[in-house]
Each structure stands twice: as structure tokens, then as C-alpha cells.
Amino acid sequence: MPFLARRGLIMDNWADIAETLAANEDFGRPDFDAKKANNRFIALAEAHRKINRVSARASGISEDVGEKVALLDDILSAHDDAKEEESQRIADAKKTQEHNDNLGSVVREEAMQSLGKRKHDVDDDGACRGGDGKILKVTTMMHEQVQSELEFQREKHENEIKERQKDRELLAQQIWNQQESMRIQQESMAALIKLLMNKQ
């Protein structure tokens, strides 16, 4: 699915799909390109969402869910998950950047205080005494904190991806089971009709 591609490769994936469709003799639109494929997907997704909203309001009415509807539900679910993951990734990156900026401010402040103390020591005694390693301690502490935060974010992101993958696999299995059940029912119905026709 093109929208699952890495940023910058999405339109390349749509181009591949457009080429495949345009090359098909039954498709009948040889000028179909990546932009048209993407726009068609967006229009189809919006129309399906609108139908879902209308059908959610019509409570109490049972609906037959066809293969197309089930497939669109699955695709839109994956699309929404991908958008949510991208938003979460951007928010996490922004949070990490803000955290790093705050830590940088602390280090600068500590460095300025340390520099002020050294200047004061030189002015008072005429000789410069060595620092007590506060900058090194703060820098080390900052580095460890950033590494810990990055590791936490990485593990959190990996766990979310695994959970979403499990959900997709479960949904795909349910759709396959439903389709298989429908196929068996259709075969049984066809056999029954054939049997009834032969009796006449």
C-alpha cells in the first residue's frame, strides 16, 4: 500500500500502481498516472467514509458487507494507522528535540557559571585553579538521559508497530475466513440448485 511507504517514496509507489493499471488492456485509461491514482484513492476513501457515517446513523438496520466494503474498511484502517504512526513519530521527534534544547540550555548555564567562577578565581589569586568537573558531569548526565529517552521511544514505537501488525493480520484472517465461508455457502447453494434442477 503506497501510503505505508517511507516519506518521499509514496508517489513512487503510486506511480508503480498507475503503470500496472495503465498497462492492463481492460483498464482503458492509458494516461493514468501517480497523481490520478492518488487522487482517485482519496476520493474513494472519502466516499467510503461518508457511506460509513450514513450507515452508522441508520442504527438497527442490518447490512450485508460485500467484499469491496470489507476491503475498503481494511485499507482505510491501515491508512488511518499509518497516519497516526506518522503523527506520533513527528510528535516524539519534536518532544525529543525540545528535551535536547532544554538540556543544552542547562549545560550552557552551567558552563557560564563555571566560567564566571574561574574568572573570579583568577582575579582574586592571580592564578587559575582547575574546575571541579561539573561540566563533564552534566554533559555525561545529559548524554545518558538522552540515550535513555531515545531507547524508550524506539521500544515504544517498535511495540506499537508490532501491535498494529498483529491487528492487521487478525483482520486479514477474519476477512479470509469470511470469504472462505461465503465461497463454501455459494458452492453449497449452487450444488443444491443443480440437484433441484436435475430432479425436475
- Look over the chain and give the mean of its residue pLDDT values, rounded to a whole number: 77
Residue range 18-54, pLDDT digits in tens = 888 788 777 777 777 888 888 888 888 888 888 877 7
pLDDT of 2 = 66
Residue range 152-182, pLDDT digits in tens = 999 999 999 999 999 889 888 988 988 888 8
Residue range 176-196, pLDDT digits in tens = 988 888 888 888 777 777 777
Residue range 119-148, pLDDT digits in tens = 555 445 444 444 557 777 888 888 888 888
Average the pLDDT over 70-85 and give the result. Answer: 82
Spacing of C-alpha 31 from chain mean position: 31
Q: Which residue has the higher pLDDT, 35 or 59?
A: 35
Closest listed residue to residue 132, CA positions, set 106, 145, 113? 113
pLDDT of 157 = 92
pLDDT of 127 = 46
Q: Is the dihedral of CA 113, 114, 119, 122 positive or negative?
A: positive
Cell 447453494 identifies what position? 189
Is the Cβ–Cβ distance between 14 and 34 less than 8 Å?
yes
pLDDT of 189 = 77
Secondary structure (3-state) at 66: coil
pLDDT band at residue 86 under the 50/70/90 scheme: confident
pLDDT of 128 = 46
